[in-house]
Each structure stands twice: as C-alpha cells, then as structure tokens.
A and B are shown apart, each in its own frame.
Chain A
C-alpha cells in the first residue's frame, strides 16, 4: 500500500522535471510530464482507496534537522478521502491535458506548465495530509503560488495578468488570517503540531476560540470562494488552462473545506451556536448569489467559476448544520450533515471537473468561451456533447446522477433541524431547504442555457462552424468523469458506508452504518423515508425501454420526414434569429432586478438625420453588489490612506533609516516594559 504512496510522490517529482529533458515546447515534453501525472493520479487513487477501505491510518514521518520539528504526514480516512478526490480528478484532468496542451505546442513552454502543474498537485496533497501548522502554511503557500503561475500561464493576455494579481492579493489576505489562526493556537498549545492543537482544544478560552474561528472562517473562506470573499475566483479560475481550471474549481477550493473542518471538528473544541448560524448564513448567500450570477454570465468558464461558489455554499450548508447540531448535542445528526457535505465535495469535483474539461474541449476546437458565439456543437462534437450534458444534469441535481444524491442528503441534513436545534431552527431549516431547492432550479435553468445555446441549434459564428471533435485522450478524460458521475450515484450506499465512519470520527460519535444505508437504499433519518439511486436508475431505464418499444409494436414504424424549422412563412431562418443566451436569462434578470440592477445603454450614430443611421451600439451590464458596495469603497479607502502615507516617504534614505531606528527603540521599550 505504502508503495503506491511513494510512487505517487515520486511520479509527481519526476513529472515536474520530466518536461525539461526534452525540447521545452515539444510534444515529447507534453507527453512525458502529463503521462507521469496520469500515473501518479492512478497511484494516489489506489493508495487512498486502500486506506478508506481498511480504515487504518498511515503515517509517514521525515526526521532530521528540520526547522520546526519532524515533517509528519498522517493519512487518516478523512485525509485519504481528500487524497482520493484530488488524485482522481488529477488523473482524469492529466489525461485530458495530454491532448489539450497540444494547443500550446511551439507557442508556450510546456515543460514549465508541467513543472507548476505537478507542484500544484503535490502541494494540494501535502496540504490535506500534513500534521503541522508550520508545514501546512508552507504547502498552502506553495499551492497558492503554483496555482498563481498557472493562472498567469497565458501572461500575454492582460486579463490573465490582472486576474493573477487579484488572486495573489486575495489569497495572501486569506493566508494572513490562516497564519493568525494558527499562531493563536500555537500561543495556547505551545506547539505547531496538530495533535497538540487537538489536545489543548478543551482548554481554549471563549475569546480565543471566537478569534480563531473568525480568522479561520475568513482565511479558508477566501480560498473556498465564499461570498463576500469570492471576488478573485470568477476572475482567476477561467484564466488558467482548462485542465488546471478543473483542478482549481474541483479540488483546490476543497482543500479549504478540509482545513476548515479540521479546525471546527478538532482544534476548536466545543463550538458556539452563532458559529453555525454565521456559516449557514454565508452558505445560503453563496449558494443563491453564486448561481444567480452564474445565470447572467455568458463566458463559459466564468459561469462555471460562479457555479463553484454555489456548490461551496451547498457544502457549507451541511457544515453549518453539523455545527448547529454539535452545539445542541445531536452528534448523529451532526455526523449526517457532515456526510452530506463530504459527499458533495467528491461529487462536485467529478461534475465540475467534467464541465471544465468539456469547456476546455469547446475552447480547444471552437477557440471561444463566449456562449453567444457557439451553437450546434452537438453535431460536430457528439462525444463532448454527451459528456457535457452528463455534467450539466449532475450539477442541476437531476436523478439518477450524483449531484442529486448529495443534494438529497443536504436536504435531509437541513430538514433534521425540524426536530429542534435551538430557537428558530425548526422554521429556518425547511426554509433554507426550500432555498436550496430554488438554487437547484436556477442551476437547471443556468445549465439549460449553457448546453442549449452552445451545443444545440445552429452555429452562431464561423468558429462554431469550424469546430471538430477533440482527440482521444481528451475524450477519455471526460468520459471517465462522466461515468463517475453515474457511478458515484449508483454506488452511493457503498460511499456512505465509508463516509459514515469519517463523519462519525469528526463529529465525535459512532454512526452505525445500518442507520444510514441498507442494501441499495440510503435511509433518511427523518423517519423511514428511503431513497435508492439504483432503483431510480433502473425504473427510469425500464420505463424508457417500454415507452420506446410499445408504440413501435402497436403502431409500427412511421415515416419521418425532415424539413426546415417553422419559420412563420418567412423563408430562411438564420442562426442570428435564434434565442440568445442573454435573451434566455432576461426574465430572471427582470425578476431579480433589485439584485442585478441592470443598466443598458444604446448609442446611435447618424449623419445629421435619424433616418441616416450609420452605427448602433448596445451595451447591457449588471451590477455585482459585493464588488460595488464592499470592494470598491475598500479600494478607494486604501488608495486614499496610501496617498496620506506618501507624505512620510520623501525618498531620502537617511530618513528611512531613522524610521527603522525609531521603530526599533519603540519595540525595545515595549518589550522591556512587557517583561518587567
């Protein structure tokens, strides 16, 4: 078993350097680096599955003269679950990358892309396994920096550079808060090791606890893209190469979920009720605003990034409920809510990874991410279309795919609040659940727009006409994820058996497997309702077979003629007469206009008379309230303060030296006063 662990680490290390052995812009570099990533991913899947199935943690320790003690990795089932998610998605994404990276051949340094790609994956793996706050921060930073370089990989584009800068700033603000949280724990426990944190958790004072909670919430919330800390996410994720976007949206943001759970259910001891309420409030805000903004987006990758915010919200709904239940000493319910959150983590990785890879295929062959310029791709790229449709159905929570299973679990987790977990919960929990239903319905609308406008109908641009199906490795990468979307749903009872143990350990209770799943059924703790994804799939399949066969038997095969679509007697429907993505989302833009505050501007140019019009320009935009009301004033404030601070910066080095001198003296005085 440990052989696979070493194999994974070694293959990533080799893969990072492999590209440099060849011509750095060549196909060989591409193959070397990405096939090694595929192998590493496969090794990771085997290794983590072995740990999950046996339930025995595996410890790897690097002794020696290291700065803050031994480098210790503990892969317990909880970590192994995240290792599985990361490895599985990186396996599929790397396979996809073999074909996708051909785009960059002779144009970009592929060896360098591979280098950062491997570091990125390895750092994520380290983040979810390392057991020491100091090294955690090191790997966290490594992960952020590697992903920064991947975001700005196409640095010749100005939008990639500006997105990268924003990402770098936001991620460091986040890291600062995480460091603060760890330092507070360090002061209390006197050690950087996670075990010490856990050991000292019971004796934390309420004030420190609250401070650590808030710092962790802001720090990890920034990485996870929780609204209002999300602004970097829809900018940065789309700029990276598509297989990297898949990893960033599919798993990188989940590392924050991992760490947040470690804090909440390990380092912080007993939580306070308001923590749960704050998490739930942020969760529902992210869920609704995330999908509402995704709906208005016409850039495929930005749309997917916004939808990642929605899904982080759904995961946090489970975590928030788990906190509330913990406060009210309902460990079983808490464990159930965690199970829902964890299952959504891997499900979201599967379908969001799939959608990003599908978008990558579209970008690869049609060279545009704008939905409005696509159309009719289902004929040119049938394989991509089927895979993308699977992902779209899964993310819209349609049975019998995996998205529905974890949303069903989240519904159940929320509705468990029915039976009382503090004042108001019996009322708020069903309302939150119905808002989750609203988000699900909006997600369906959103992805009908995406699939319907870009894959169906007639091509809207020359790019879409020229599109061709992608190469074998890309098809395989998407195919694996598409199958996993169905597989994770059908195998949900098996998955829950594993998750029940992990969630039980976190929630500090034992969740008997037979209380959450029996044979092919998932059991709702809400009194006897059962749900079986397998039964749903079989019933749908059987009904489909009967419905397709019966009319044919009774009425025989009928003549089918093809003709043009109904054009109201006005010949030659052109592709520009089709409904547009902007038009599709118009009714919702109007209904939620209080939120979007849409504005539009029509400019008409004419030659002296309105009949002699030469040009028309139409511009419509919507407002992003968080950007508008939080970040814009904040940026203005910062630049104003900087203007004021400019006064003490004269450019004379003597003056700067004296500043340093004065600061030192003040610090010494402070320390002197402190120690006496």
Chain B
C-alpha cells in the first residue's frame, strides 16, 4: 500500500495502482486520450504527462505505478509545456473540421486545447490527407484524418467485445485506424467506440448532423430495452423542434454503473429510443372517435362501479405490462387485485423472444419483469402457450384464453400487442365479444385500433419511477421531460380512477407511491428514492422468496 503525494495531497493506494488512478482518487483530473479505465493501458497519447520528483523527464500518469514516497505534480509550467508540445504534435495532421464535426463541443482535443493549446501554431506544411466520412458499419462513421491514434477503439474491440475489427495500419504520419479487410464494425456493442473515441474520428451515424451537442439537455435514466437496465444518460432537445423532425430524444449515452453496465451499453438499447417520439398516442379515443380524459374516467369508473355492484368483477381481466414502472405495477395490484379483488389481473403473456449474450443483452426485453414478479403480478414460471389449442396451466386458463372463451366481459391491456399474439381476426372477434376493451399505452399498435377505449400513456422517460432489473436492482428511471400533450402517465390516471371508485390510495406522485410500496412489500423495505440515488440498490433478496420460487435466480446472468 504505497503512499504518495499528488499536488501536495497525500494518498494511499493499493499496490499496482497507477498515478492517474491515484490522482482520480483525490479528485484530481489528469487529461487523457488513450487511457480509459475500462481498457488496458496503452500509454501512447502522452497527454497525461505529470512531473514526478527526482525524475529527469515528465512521466505519463497512466502507466507510472504509484510508489512509496512518490511526489507528483499534475500542474505547473513544466507539465503544461509538455502537454502543449504533445497537443501540437497531435494536431499536426488533425483537420480543422470542428464546424462539421459532430464531436465538437464534447471533444477532448478541443477541451484540452483550451487549457494547454499553443494558440499560435507553427505548422506550415501540408497536412496528410486520409479517408473521410467512411461508413465502417451500420452505426459508426470513420474519419481517419481526425484520429489521433489513441487506440481506444482497437483495445475495445480486442478486450471487451473480443471481435477485433479495428487495427492501426501504415507507419509514421500515415498511420491510420481502420478495419481489418473484409470486416465491418457490426458487433452488438459497436456504438461504444463512438463514446470512447476522444475525438471526432468515430462518430455516430444515427446522431450524425442531427443536432449540435451543446443543444442537448441531459437527464439520467435507465435503458428500457431489456431487463439488464443499463444506466444511461438521455440526451434530448426540447426547444428546437426543427431538428430530427421534431423528435425530442436525440441519443442515449451509457452512464457508468460498476454493478450493471460499467461504461458500456448495447446498440439495441442505444438506438432503441425512437419509440419515445414516433407513433405516439396523444388522443383519448372511444371506439375510433375522439374523446376526453374526463369522459374516459367517467365511463370506465362507471363500468367498474356497476360491475362491482352486480358482482361481476370476476368477468374483468387486466393484463399489466412489464414495461410499466414498479410504482405503476404496484398501483395496479392495489387497485385491481386488492381493492376490487380481481382474480384475472396477471401478467400472463408469453415472454418476448430474444437472445441473451452473457454480457449485457438479456433475452427478456422487458425492463421490469422482476418488478412485476416481486409484486406477485407474474404467473407461475411456466406460462401457458396462448396459440396452442386448449392451452392453459398453472392457475387455470390464461386471461386471454378466458376472454376468448367468453368468460370475461372486460379486458384492460397495458401496452401489449394482442394482434401480434392472436392475429388480426381473433383480436377483432375479441373486441366484438367484450363489453369493454381498454388499451392504455404510449405507442400506437394494431391493438389500439381494436380497443374500445384508447388511453395514451407516457413513455418511461416522461415519468418518474423505478425498474427492477434482472439482478434484482431497483433503479430510478427519472423524468426527463413532460409527456407529449394529450398523453398522461398511467399512474396519474389510475389514481384518478381509484378516487372515482372511492378506493383509498396512499400517494399520488411516483415518489409517494414508492414510499407506499416500500411499506407494503418486504423486498422493497427501507428503500426510498433518495437512497436509490442514480445508481440504484439491490432489493432485499431474503424476503423475496415467495410461493412461486425465487424469480431472482432465473433472471440472474452475470456479465
């Protein structure tokens, strides 16, 4: 455990720690291009030069092991002079592309040049021309001129994805980054090379020219693409509707969480944000004609109240969704299962097909399956195949089967696509059979066309709430911006509905609902939004062993 002094502050670090990590521990930032905490050390960019006492030359902080009694200076005239010289070399062949470069604004070359730059350049020779704007994969654009050969992308594909597409070719000032012949950068994590590229050499084709990065607002969130629940930063623009055809969300960037996704995220999740702005439902409709929230509330509460009086509540089916937040699922349980005593309120649909890759991508494409399971909204572990004739196991017939058999008179669906499950014909028949078919969801789908009532919901970044990922980690999704005009968060509507039905609800906001949840469900005991923070916390596993076995283990796949 060597103790060293960095900028006058002593710090003790474990054996094998490098100076740059020791400095990080002290909160001292040392500029870096090639160094990345998630990759091996290359030590080729030389910008992290620091002054080490008794060493005649400046040392690179990223590859100098901390030693006992070492005295390090990360600032000072000598260090700055060294970094300035390094930058001068790095910029010799770097084109003046900043106006057209998507990286500008979040470019480390720009940032460090502000501090250490040589503002009066001495380079008068011709710059070396290299390939520009080459689409090296479906997601990534390469500009070899802008590359400073830090080799982060090479190490990423070698060490993290182990696909090894990248290499550095040629020599001297003609060295350039590129793909091995016959390869394209199409691995499922290719978007990460854009994040780790410190300059504009690798840029995102999806984000290309969409907006300038200084237009973007950031909100912490969690990816809803699968049950992994990678932590992300949501980058959005609200005040410039002319960009990207009026879309608000511009891109997702992974947010560091050592327990979930570290620095990475998959392409599927990264580019799976478009549903937040496209094909959204924004109008309450009743059998195809426009209606209002007030009318919907009156009609639905009236129907349910009548059914309660007539004792027909067992003819009501509710299928919640594992894409809803835990708070909403809890409200559904409280409202439908407990207060109204509905027997048919379960998430008994077959899981979506998907594959797990043992790293980040999970087969279960719903972000909150675990949350539903913890709240007893999931059926037995062996779900009945719907399509098969006379299927049905566990508690009996599945809700959908019951509805098709005519046992149910009302069905309330949260965001599911029945047409995809049953086919157009059966769905139409179901809609005809039922007295009430409610579709509540954020996006248009074929089922919404058949539903009697369509209630536009909010996507998860428009509402606060939590998801429980496959590891049993409760993570806040965070509200980035308001729902689209016309759409309403599901919980908001359900709270109003409960009021109409004179059912006591302890809380209106997601935070209040979560507090209620924490009081009632042992797995969440003691958790609050404040405690969760933006990195999440694991649920109380010991108390979650429920009658249907332990759902946690089945979802656990270590990266």
Does A pair with B?
no
Task: Name A's B-contacting residues (CB within 8 A).
Answer: none
Task: Name B's A-contacting residues (CB within 8 A).
Answer: none
